[in-house]
């Protein structure tokens, strides 16, 4: 992906809008990732719940809450510090515009979004919170069936577990095929984006985007690497194995599309399958450090 990423930027800058011709190749990549994203997220969470006993699940959940809280707080603090220090909006004049303030959803609205009223709607809408809710209750139900006192329920539970496991293998095999195509799609997205917008546009926005990406680098250098060192994980090894997830997230600008790639990359980095399957889908909903950094 690194070669496709670099080549796309270079050709986009050199040939400009002419590179729009390759844009459909990038759209195909995003569509393919969205195609497998929802099944992968759903199946991985169901399997993660079935791979852990309740005590381990509780301990992992507690650790995740601490981790999510610390990284989110750090992202906000870094965002505030950079904003006060650099002040990227200083001297910028924007035309007056009438913008309607969006309504903030109430607690009941958030709760209703978590609990879908239609099984198929939850999958077709791509609403992560609803998908996670279904995955959790179905996963827990299968666990209860597998350890039931009734032979029929135990047998059905084991069959369902094998079915979900086979489905997970199927979609991750599809994902491996999509990742073979990913360098072409990343190249196309980069070339068409830089070709249409032009280098001058990116330069004019650098004051804003540059501060944001500086914040990302600081978050990585100060916070994430500290967790890696605490866990005795090689920083170079981890970054090498997970770099494809960063490139995919950067160019697709979609957490749901890049999540399957992130799950695959985390497993390649040596993180246990049950930890990855449980923590990454939940983190995609409740641990948006990039959003916290921008808010800061």
Tens-place pLDDT, residues 207-232: 667 777 788 888 888 888 998 898 88
How far is residue 81's CA from residue 75's CA, in Å, rounded to a whole number?
Answer: 10
Enter the pTM of the model: 0.74
How far is residue 74's CA from residue 215's CA, in Å, rounded to a whole number?
Answer: 10
pLDDT band of residue 89 (cuts 50, 70, 90) is: low
Name all domains of the chain by residue range, CATH numbers in brackets: 36-89+113-184+209-295 (1.10.3860.10)
How far is residue 156's CA from residue 158's CA, in Å, rounded to a whole number?
Answer: 5
Q: Are 238 and 269 in contact (CB under 8 A)?
A: yes
Number of CB atoms found within 10 A of residue 7's CB: 15
Cα atoms in the 13 Å half-sphere on the side-chain side of 22? 25
> How many angstroms separate the most distant Cα atoms in the chain?
73
pLDDT band of residue 274 (cuts 50, 70, 90) is: confident
Tens-place pLDDT, residues 120-164: 777 877 778 888 889 989 999 999 999 889 999 999 999 999 999
How far is residue 56's CA from residue 7's CA, in Å, rounded to a whole number?
Answer: 45
């Amino acid at each position: 992906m690194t070669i496709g990423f670099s080549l796309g930027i270079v050709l986009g800058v050199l040939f400009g809008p002419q590179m729009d011709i390759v844009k459909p190749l990038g759209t195909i990549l995003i569509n393919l990732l969205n195609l497998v994203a929802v099944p992968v997220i759903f199946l991985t969470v169901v399997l993660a719940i079935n791979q852990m006993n309740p005590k381990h699940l509780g301990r992992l959940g507690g650790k995740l809450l601490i981790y999510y809280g610390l990284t989110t707080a750090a992202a906000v603090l870094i965002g505030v510090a950079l904003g006060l220090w650099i002040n990227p909006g200083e001297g910028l004049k924007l035309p007056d515009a009438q913008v309607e303030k969006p309504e903030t959803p109430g607690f009941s609205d958030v709760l209703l979004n978590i609990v879908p009223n239609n099984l198929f709607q939850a999958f077709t809408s791509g609403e992560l919170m609803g998908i996670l809710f279904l995955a959790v209750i179905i996963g827990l139900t299968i666990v209860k069936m597998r350890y039931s006192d009734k032979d029929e329920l135990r047998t059905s539970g084991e069959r369902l577990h094998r079915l979900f496991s086979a489905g997970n293998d199927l979609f991750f095999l599809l994902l491996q095929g999509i990742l073979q195509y990913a360098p072409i799609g990343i190249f196309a997205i980069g070339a068409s984006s830089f070709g249409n917008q032009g280098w001058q546009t990116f330069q004019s926005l650098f004051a804003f985007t540059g501060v944001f990406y500086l914040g990302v680098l600081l978050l990585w250098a100060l916070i994430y690497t500290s967790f890696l060192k605490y866990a005795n994980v090689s920083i170079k090894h981890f970054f090498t194995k997970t770099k494809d997830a960063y490139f995919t997230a950067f160019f697709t600008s979609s957490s749901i599309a890049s999540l399957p790639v992130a799950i695959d990359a985390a497993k390649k980095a040596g993180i246990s399958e049950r930890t990855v399957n449980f923590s990454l889908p939940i983190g995609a909903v409740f641990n948006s450090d990039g959003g916290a950094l921008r808010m800061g």
